[in-house]
Each structure stands twice: as structure tokens, then as C-alpha cells.
Amino acid sequence: MVDDLQENEDIGPSSSPSIRSKINLDDLPSDPADRLPITSYHPNQIDDVRRAYLVKKVFQPRGGREVFVSGGFYNWSKPGALKEHVGEVNSIHNNSVQICDNLLNQNRSYEANVTKHSNEEKIANWYRLLGSVRFFLAVLKLICENNPDIGKYCLGIAKKNNTLTAPSIQKEIIDCFVKEVTKKLCEEFKDDVFGLLVDESSDVSQKEQMTIVMRYVDKRGVVKESLIGVAHVNNTSSATLKEAIVYLLSNNQLSIDQVMGQGYDGASNTRGKFNGLKALILRDNPSAHYIHCFAHQLQLVIVAVAKKHTGVKEFYESLGLVFNTVGASCKRKYMMLELKSEMVKNEILLGEIKTGK
């Protein structure tokens, strides 16, 4: 029996005391894809490993400076240096402090809060979440009136403000769905290689958005392309785009080392030979071969051919003039809306279009 216990102690990378003593807490992998689960370490080592990762998170370098950790902080005479380190409300420092507080406060953990609820409260929360996810507010009101199982828990009958119908709560629920779907998609190629397809453009609110698509071969040998994220970026510089890509990959336990191909358009910030996104990723992973996006090449060909056609050229030139003339004036926009409204009214009276709802 003793021999069996001693043999079992040597199983695994972190269960043996001799191996446990070799763990270098200063050299723990930063990439989530390379990290071992905390629970895989020896029980006496878990707190030390968790504390080491917490230090990496809270006191990480900013702007090329080793802040407070390696060499200490001696620049107290510089006005605003500490305030600059702390940053705004959603800065890295403040977010790290909040993460630390949440980790140390066990009473606020998910498990602690769930165990406090009675079975009746769990059922109520389930129905409220079900109604909030599946139905719009107007439909949910109708469902509550006709379905007593849902009606006795939802909307006005819900305890305090736990109705789960506020826009912010709805966005959080949608965000949870996004994370779960993305997690399932990434599990198909988590331990394999994939291609990276990236494009960026501004949305209707004039914010730059970057879409990230993964191209991979699933377990059945089928080539797939899956959208795994739309990231807001402050600018379209190659460094900013790469930072957003690395952040999204790490959040899904993926690494830049798994990228075997890159596909972008022909913009200089993406395909630039020296400082483009392609070049920055190749410096970290020489195997990430770049291919000019075929769809973008086709678009360039179509545009070039269309410009040679006199009728098409004149049409788009006239369309551009109309768009610029109307779009530059609020008064002209209002006039166009008035004309459109009158046109719709006449067509409804003539029975040419239906009103619907």
C-alpha cells in the first residue's frame, strides 16, 4: 500500500515534491494557451502560483516601464506620475485592482451567491432569464398574462429590480451567449493551427471596428470559416490591430504561434512589408504566411473594369454628386424625407404597397 502511494505521488507534472520544488514562480507562462490549470499544481503550491499570476496581472509593465516590481518606482518627483500609472476608471490598473478585490472577497463569488438562494428563488431566476432571453418585452408581457408558470415570477412580480429586462442586463446576457458560442467554436481548433482573416471599417457611429475570422479544418476534414470577434479599435495602425488580435486570441486560450496563414486587403497598415500587421505577426511567428485576400482582389478587378465602361462610370459619378449634395445639408435631407413620405402615402392610398404593422 505504501509503495502504491509513493508511486502515485510521482504521477503528473506538479504532484511530486521534487518537481514542486523546481517550479520557478518568476518564469510562469504568460500566454493562457501555455498555462497549466491552477488545480494541476500541488495543493501546497496553488496559493503561491495564484499569487504569482496575480502579481503579473496587477503590476504588469506599462509603456515599456517596469512599474513598482523589478527596479522599484523612484520617479516620485515627476508631477502626475502616480496618477498616470493609475489611469482612468477603466484603466489596466483599476481593472486589476477590481479583479484582485473580487478574488479576495469570497463572499461575492458566484458559488457563494448561488448556494444562498432557495430552490424557489432558483426557479424564479430561471424563468426570468428564460423570458428575458427568448421574448421581447411586449411579447413577454403577453406570455406572463397567459402562462402562469412564467407570469408569477417575471416583470412586476419579480423581487426588487430582478426583472432582467433592462437594456444593460440584456446586453450582458447577449455577451454571455457570444462568449459561449465563441468558446465552442474555438474548441474545434484549440490545439491545432488556423488561418487569420482580418478586415476593419467604421460603423454607423463612426467607430472603427475590426472583424476577426478564423479559417480552419474541423475534425471531419471540412474547411470552415467562423467569425470569433468584432473588436473596437481606437485607430487602424498595425500595432493597434495586432494588440487587439493578440488580446482576443488570449481570451479564447489561443496563441499567435498557432497562426499558419494571414489574409488581409491591400492597405499599407495590413500588408506593409516592414511595419504592417503582416510583418508584425511574422516577427513573432515566421510560419504565418500572408496571402492577399482573393475577395479584395476580385473587388479591385471589378472596380477597374467598371471604370472603363462609360455608362457605369457616369452613373457612379452622378450618384456620388447626389450623395455629397444631399448628405452635406440637413435641410436637403429633410426635403428628401418629406418627398419620400408623400410618395409612400400616395402609394398606400392607391393600394400599391401594404402597410403591415
Give backbone dihedrals phi and psi of 29, rounded to 5 degrees, phi first: -65, 135
> Do 65 and 128 share a domain, yes or no?
no
Residue 62 lies in a domain: yes
Could you give the angle at which helices 119-134 and 137-146 cross, rounded to 10 degrees? 130
* pLDDT tens digits, one per residue of 157-205: 556 566 666 677 777 877 888 888 888 888 888 788 999 998 887 776 6
> Do 294 and 251 share a domain, yes or no?
yes
> Do 144 and 211 share a domain, yes or no?
no
The residues with which 235 forms a beta bridge, in sequence order, are none
Residue 177 lies in a domain: no
Residue 28 lies in a domain: yes
> Do 265 and 206 share a domain, yes or no?
yes
| Residue 292 CA, distance from chain mean position | 25
Cell of 116: 444562498
> Among positive and negative, which fits the CA dihedral 259, 264, 270, 276?
positive
Residue 16 lies in a domain: no
Task: Report DSSP state, residue 193.
Answer: -
Structurally, the chain folds into a number of domains equal to 4
> Do 125 and 102 share a domain, yes or no?
no
| Mean residue pLDDT across the chain | 75
Check if the beta carbon of residue 238 is closer than 8 Å to that of residue 227.
Answer: no
Residue 256 lies in a domain: yes
Check if the beta carbon of residue 150 is closer than 8 Å to that of residue 131.
Answer: yes
> Do 130 and 68 share a domain, yes or no?
no
Check if the beta carbon of residue 55 is closer than 8 Å to that of residue 69.
Answer: yes
Check if the beta carbon of residue 209 is closer than 8 Å to that of residue 241.
Answer: no
Prediction pTM value: 0.49
Between 315 and 4, the more confident residue is 315
> Do 213 and 260 share a domain, yes or no?
yes
Boundary residue ending a domain (270, 298, 326): 298
What domain range includes position 157?
Answer: 117-165
